[in-house]
Structure 1
Amino acid sequence: MTKMHDVVIVGGGLVGGLTALLLAKGGVQAVVLDAAPVLDAEKVLATPNPRVLALSQATIHLLEQVGVWDKLARHMPYTGMQVYNQNGYGEIVFGQASERSPIREQWLGSMVEPSILNLAIQQQLQAQLQDYRTQAKVTRIEQTPQGWRIDLANGERLQTKLVIGADGANSFVREQAMIDLDVLDYQQIAMSCAIRTTQPHQHVARQIFLPTGPLAYLPMVSLDEQSQGHWQSIVWSLPSDFAEEYAALDDKSFMHLLTQSSLHMLGEVTAVASRAHFPLKARAAVHYVKDGLALVGDAAHVIHPLAGQGVNIGCLDAAVLCDVLLQDLARGSWAHIQTLRRYEHSRKGQNQAMMHSMSMIGWLEKTTLTPVVWARNQGLKWVEQTPLFKDLFMQQANGLAQLKSTRYAKGRAVD
């Protein structure tokens, strides 16, 4: 007879790996089906990644709980954030610049290359899980009276009481479960690359709102010690026609454009590497759960990269789902539909609010209507001058408040 597993997680990236490790910490061993191969540590460490993920304090705290954070080979903490308009006077500044490597108490978060993070997660999954599979291709997922049946390309069939879809924006789990998806096409393309600037970033993440869309400068680690502190990862959201025009520029012209568009934010852009672009679409699963199935991370929602919160709200999904599952396990139940609905109720509303607020901010920042421009600039100045509202913004950004009702709240001993 086919063994009945308690939980199978499809997807072994940040959110899927974190979910598995949190469950393992609570005494539940998941089967993890990771489509990625075993990573070559030497190659990953020697290859700088032009993209970074802005990890919040809550995400860092969760990664510490499961032993992943200490395995990170490199990351770049940031102690300040600066947000302002190119054609206006509004500006908000959080935290402060730091010329030297900041102490932990000063961090607002940290920038981590996805490849470095994936390596650390994979190493911890290999160490902590009894059944972690790489290069696992799922070909079919079907609900049965007992739970869910998962067919693999190698001919193996798994039975599970609970399947967790952590397999990204184009989730096969979501598709097989026939969960509908709402899509909002921003008609924008995000350009990303790594750049070197003449002035150091001083551990500050910067975002300037241009008439075409937001341009973010995110501090990143340099493998060259002589240029340490001068490299940033950029994300530039642009209308599709602008993006096509900019993508066609040679590196020298593109660096000049960046320097001018950013108002010399950090002086001249003197080098660029690994230019890429991707379309921007918001996606929201109509349901996060079905009987014996739950979606987490990008499988459930994808938001505008405006505030860099997509990966962080995915990690909060993992924490809340694991918390409710382990609560009910302590009562002698496992993956009951009411348990899964508690997770959905807790996370769906917050995630939708984040998605719609990012869409609204994006529209407000690119509009040229004079009354809106005036109100936008006045609003930024008002928030900057009101400590209470700045604190609320920071609490939302660091994510710690959303962990307070869970076993993973900062300062609470994890069971």
Structure 2
Amino acid sequence: MSDVLDVVIVGGGLVGGLTALLLAQGGVQATVLDAAPILDPEHVKSMLNPRVLALSQATIHLLKAVNVWNDLPRQMPYTGMHVWNKNGYGEIEFGQVSQFIPTADQALGSMVEPSLLNLVIQQKMLQQIQDYRTQVKVVRVEQQVECWCVELADGQILKTRLLIGADGANSFVRDQAYIGLDVLDYHQAAISCAIKTTQPHQYVARQIFLPTGPLAFLPMASLDEQENGYWQSIVWTLPEDYAEEYSAFSDAEFIQLLTRESQHMLGEVIDVRSRARFPLKARSAQHYVKAGLALIGDAAHVIHPLAGQGVNIGCLDAAVLCDVLLHDLQRGVWAHEQTLRRYEHQRKGQNAAMMHSMSAIGWLETTEITPLIFARNFGLRQVNRSTLFKDAFMQQASGLHGLKNTRYAI
């Protein structure tokens, strides 16, 4: 077994890269197989990505732990959230507006372009991971006695005691391991793009529930410092036919529509860039682990983008998996099946609860059933008036509970 590696990670994005860096910090060097090429730093930094990831306090804490956070060329902290329903009276406000760039202790989280995260994660792996391979294609994964066999497109075959699938929603590792997938098709699509408004966002993330679905305005950093504070990334969830229709609009037509449907929440929309449309489906792997194998991030679960928690629960997967692995390593054990089951037990239930709650909220906010509309609006008002409920919600949204009882706890 001398030629068998301790761990191979398939996928070098945020979640796979974070896992490799956390393991390296604990003294375990992973072989990372990344399909992406080496990124050009100047090109990535010069391009404004229309999408942002809403990173929780827990995710930011983990990125700081592996020395990634401070190397990000730009990010946009937010100090408040405002959620309301267009056809109702209920609303919830968390935090507060800010006239100035908030400090770390004031921010509820931060909006970061995924391209910038991928760049900095890759740069850290090039420095710290001894066997980090880019532009690699895996063509076969097979379970053998006490190890997994990974065949690459160039014919090379790797054997590993632990295989970690961090290769996204269409995970090849998951399929090759014959792990079933439960899919919930929302029959919706999301339109994302970057927009500029006449009024500043004041570091507040906003979401209005329309009869067709939620429309989120998420503060984002600008390439031009003079325009910082006026750019947002939007995620607009719509029925598939609406999304297709709106995607065909000219920029001028889309700007007019967006200004009207957003109820002029930040005045006029005056610019739009890089519109894209993508279908929305929730996915959950029936198992997160098998003997010698673990799935993390989108390979294990994909949830509705309603609360922007998908990437955050993926980073919690990475933290919990690394914690249980490194804990057992101290006892002279590596990737024991019971250890992997412990990871699955800790994460699968929490992730499923998050997925189903997002589905339920999305349905409740767009329902036209009068008694449910009344109950929804009454519930929102009660929560907004209760400091106890709001504090509990913010604690949940921070993700810090997911790090409790791990070596990464704050």
| TM-score bracket relative to the smaller structure | over 0.9
Q: Match of 2:72?
A: 72
- 1:318 Cα deviation from its structure 2 partner: 0.3
Q: Match of 1:276?
A: 276
Question: Cα deviations across residues 242-297 of structure 1 (Å, max 9, x unaligned)?
Answer: 11111111111111111111110000000000000000000000000000000000
Task: Return the letter of the residue paired with 1:76.
Answer: M
Q: Does 1:205 align with 2:205?
A: yes
Moved more, 259-268 or 220-229: 220-229
Q: Match of 1:364?
A: 364
Matches within 5 A, 1:116-195: 116-195=116-195
Q: Match of 1:413?
A: none
SS at match of 1:405: coil
Question: Cα deviations across residues 17-52 of structure 1 (Å, max 9, x unaligned)?
Answer: 000000000000000000000000010011110000
Q: Match of 2:297?
A: 297
SS at match of 1:373: helix
CA RMSD across the alignment: 0.8
Q: Match of 1:328?
A: 328
8 Å Cα contact 1:125-1:132 kept in structure 2? yes
In the aligned structure 1, how far is the partner of 2:312 from the partner of 2:174?
20
In the aligned structure 1, how far is the partner of 2:87 from the partner of 2:35?
45
Task: Return the letter of the residue paired with 1:157.
Answer: I
Task: Return the letter of the residue paired with 2:230.
Answer: H
In the aligned structure 1, how far is the partner of 2:294 from the partner of 2:340?
7
8 Å Cα contact 1:192-1:234 kept in structure 2? yes
Task: Return the letter of the residue paired with 1:194.
Answer: A
In the aligned structure 1, how far is the partner of 2:105 from the partner of 2:326?
31
How high is the TM-score relative to the length of structure 1? 0.98
In the aligned structure 2, how far is the partner of 1:42 from the partner of 1:233?
22
8 Å Cα contact 2:147-2:292 kept in structure 1? yes
Task: Return the letter of the residue paired with 2:297.
Answer: G
SS at match of 1:158: strand
SS at match of 1:238: strand
Q: Match of 2:382?
A: 382
Q: Match of 1:306?
A: 306
Q: Match of 2:394?
A: 394
Question: Cα deviations across residues 366-386 of structure 1 (Å, max 9, x unaligned)?
Answer: 111111111111111000011
In the aligned structure 2, how far is the partner of 1:2 from the partner of 1:338?
23
In the aligned structure 2, how far is the partner of 1:182 from the partner of 1:399?
25
Count of residue pairs the alignment pairs up: 410
Q: Match of 1:56?
A: 56
8 Å Cα contact 1:213-1:366 kept in structure 2? yes
Q: Match of 2:43?
A: 43
8 Å Cα contact 2:325-2:339 kept in structure 1? yes
Q: Match of 2:319?
A: 319
In the aligned structure 2, how far is the partner of 1:278 from the partner of 1:40?
26
In the aligned structure 1, how far is the partner of 2:116 from the partner of 2:131?
22
Question: Cα deviations across residues 73-106 of structure 1 (Å, max 9, x unaligned)?
Answer: 1100001100111111111111111111111110
In the aligned structure 2, how far is the partner of 1:303 from the partner of 1:122?
25
In the aligned structure 2, how far is the partner of 1:99 from the partner of 1:368?
38
Task: Return the letter of the residue paired with 1:378.
Answer: F
In the aligned structure 1, how far is the partner of 2:146 from the partner of 2:246?
54
In the aligned structure 2, how far is the partner of 1:189 from the partner of 1:120?
30
Q: Does 1:112 align with 2:148?
A: no
In the aligned structure 1, how far is the partner of 2:384 from the partner of 2:146?
55
SS at match of 1:281: strand
SS at match of 1:105: coil
Question: Cα deviations across residues 119-153 of structure 1 (Å, max 9, x unaligned)?
Answer: 00000001111100000110001011031010001
8 Å Cα contact 2:146-2:292 kept in structure 1? no
8 Å Cα contact 2:165-2:173 kept in structure 1? yes
In the aligned structure 2, how far is the partner of 1:122 from the partner of 1:318?
16
Task: Return the letter of the residue paired with 1:330.
Answer: Q
In the aligned structure 1, how far is the partner of 2:393 from the partner of 2:127?
37
SS at match of 2:313: helix
8 Å Cα contact 1:2-1:159 kept in structure 2? no
- 1:225 Cα deviation from its structure 2 partner: 2.1
In the aligned structure 1, how far is the partner of 2:404 from the partner of 2:179?
30
SS at match of 2:409: coil
Q: Which runs of 5+ in 2 are unaligned?
A: none
- 1:2 Cα deviation from its structure 2 partner: 7.3
Task: Return the letter of the residue paired with 2:90.
Answer: G
8 Å Cα contact 1:2-1:158 kept in structure 2? no
In the aligned structure 1, how far is the partner of 2:206 from the partner of 2:385?
19
Q: Match of 1:254?
A: 254
Identity of aligned residues (%): 72
In the aligned structure 2, how far is the partner of 1:146 from the partner of 1:224?
54
Q: Which runs of 5+ in 1 are unaligned?
A: 411-415
Task: Return the letter of the residue paired with 1:185.
Answer: D
Question: Cα deviations across residues 171-195 of structure 1 (Å, max 9, x unaligned)?
Answer: 0000000000000000000000000
In the aligned structure 1, how far is the partner of 2:275 from the partner of 2:116?
19
In the aligned structure 2, how far is the partner of 1:361 from the partner of 1:395?
18
In the aligned structure 2, how far is the partner of 1:91 from the partner of 1:181?
35
8 Å Cα contact 1:364-1:376 kept in structure 2? yes
- 1:70 Cα deviation from its structure 2 partner: 1.4
In the aligned structure 2, how far is the partner of 1:342 from the partner of 1:260?
49
Task: Return the letter of the residue paired with 1:95.
Answer: G
